[in-house]
Structure 1
Amino acid sequence: MAPVVIVTGASRGIGLAIARTLLATHGAKVATLQRTLTPELKALAEQYPDRVLTVSGDVSKPEDNVRVVEQTVAKWGSLTGLILNAGTLDPMGKLSEVPLDALVPSLQTNLLSALYIVQPAIKYLRASATPQNPARVILVSSGASVGAYQAWGMYSLAKAGVNSLARTFAAEEKDGNVIFLSIRPGVVDTDMQGHIRKAGPGVMAPNEMAKFNQLHEGGMLLPPEQPGSVIAGCAIGLPAECSGEYVDWADERFAQWRHKA
């Protein structure tokens, strides 16, 4: 039976690369939840009309997460995995200066959205899982989850929480054959990097801003396909003994899934 995976934030960047890999390499059926149906995602849905379901919505709204889960199961009869990729760097600024009315929206998008979708999905994940082929939930984290950048405080806080969620879910779901992983995708050539270069000066520390500019100018940003292929592979074949870990996308245990240019 083909895997059935929901991917959030699949309209561009890493999420789009994940969806493409799931479809082309793993024969999966893919549902997406995104605010914007980009031309790239629309084209992917047209290329795989029987294996893509696009649902417009906002991960920060619990009802939209319920909707994508229910529509996915109604269409394909099961759910074997989640890849929680949606996120935002905003609000950027020192924690002592971040507008208070931006705190809850930031946490809803970057952290609470994981709970918003896992809660309605968990019964279907358990139902599809076996000890030999568990269901898998992959949470896209960041190196900022274990470090600190000036002006990234809310993002770092949320991603540290994502790592904690993976550990806690793993502890709670040992009997349900659902496994969880938090994965750092590296510094990737996406819209978020463009946002850093545009909004970072003036709020980020100069040496930290210089680092990201140098990575861009030196052509050292990762193509989305590199971490995207590994994240997709983890959603299909992650071994149960990895459940609860926070890992780097380049972990040698996952080398089999790396994109080959």
Structure 2
Amino acid sequence: MAPPTSPIIILTGASRGLGLSVLRILLSKYNARVATLSRTLTPELQAVIDEYNNGEDRVLAVQGDVGKEEDNVRVVSETTKKWGGLDGLVLNAGSIDPVGKLADIPTSALIPYVQTNLLSTIYLIQPALPHLRSSKGKIVLVSSGASTSGYQAWGLYSMAKAGMNSLARTIASEEKDTGVGIWSVRPGMVNMQAFLRSNGPGQMADSDMVKFQSAYEKGELLAPEQPGSVLAGLAVDGPLELNGEYINWADDRLQAFRG
């Protein structure tokens, strides 16, 4: 099935970094109409909105919290009301901050963290699915290599991302007869980790800190546009033969999407 000529996509976490790059690629390369859901309108996000809503109507910015069910329902409602349908989701929002060893994390922090980093995916997918079934739409989950590792102080993050990988497999199985595609994508080590380098020492294991610091010093971190091009491409025209997979952005099977 050919992708729509002006696909309608909902993107979370578009205010900076990887999400902002995905937004720019969807708008510039795929002529998409994109609704964003984020808590704040950063100057960078506002600049993209101003650029693509100047004479056109390509970006719908919805302010809200992905960890709240009602805000996810609202972005689906406003998107479909404005443009008449929905072709894809890119679920990028989340927090990567080291929060300490699992033994020491206050239990009061557990529910808000899991709501933002895992339950938010269900909060958005559920109201979006009826529309995605109609369009044979795509769902892209931004996962992490941490989902298959055990980095100290990243326990909740790793747990949430591992749950995301499982979610992709389950949705793919449950929706196999509807044409909905879903992938959980490992975006690699993206150059947006200044917080980790400044706040990780003392929480993360020394060996893990060396890995991230070394990649930064050697210039090995990825530009957000590199995995961003794959995330955007999958949201528009992802291959159903890979449905449900947890997949590396640099996998050779995704080469067609790499810009």
- TM-score tier by shorter-chain length is over 0.9
Aligned to 2:16: 12
Q: What is the rounded CA distance, in whole Å, between the counterparts of 2:101 and 2:19 in structure 1?
A: 28
Aligned 8 A contact 2:98 2:196 in 1: no
When the two chains are superposed, the root-mean-square deviation of aligned CA atoms in Å is 0.9
Show CA shifts across 1:16-69 (max 9, x none): 000100000011111100111111111111111111101001100000001110
User: Percent sequence identity over matched residues?
Assistant: 58
Aligned 8 A contact 2:97 2:196 in 1: no
SS in 1 for 2:161: helix
Aligned to 1:177: 179
Say whether 1:89 aligns with 2:93.
Answer: no
Aligned to 1:205: 205
Matches for 1:155-234 after TM superposition, within 5 Å: 155-190=157-192, 193-234=193-234
Aligned to 1:106: 113
SS in 2 for 1:181: strand
Aligned to 2:27: 23
- 1:250 positional shift: 0.2
- 1:91 positional shift: 5.3
Letter in 2 for 1:166: A
- 1:90 positional shift: 3.6
Q: What is the rounded CA distance, in whole Å, between the counterparts of 2:18 and 2:98 in structure 1?
A: 21
| TM-score normalised by the chain length of structure 1 | 0.95
Structure 1's consecutive aligned runs of 4 or more residues displaced over 3 angstroms after TM superposition are none
* Structure 1 unaligned residues grouped into runs of 5+: 130-134
| TM-score normalised by the chain length of structure 2 | 0.95
- 2:149 is matched with which residue: 141, 147, 150? 147
* Structure 2 unaligned residues grouped into runs of 5+: none
Say whether 1:243 aligns with 2:243.
Answer: yes
Aligned to 2:258: 258
Say whether 1:125 aligns with 2:128.
Answer: no
Say whether 1:55 aligns with 2:62.
Answer: yes
- 1:89 positional shift: 2.1
SS in 1 for 2:164: helix
Say how many residue pairs are matched.
252
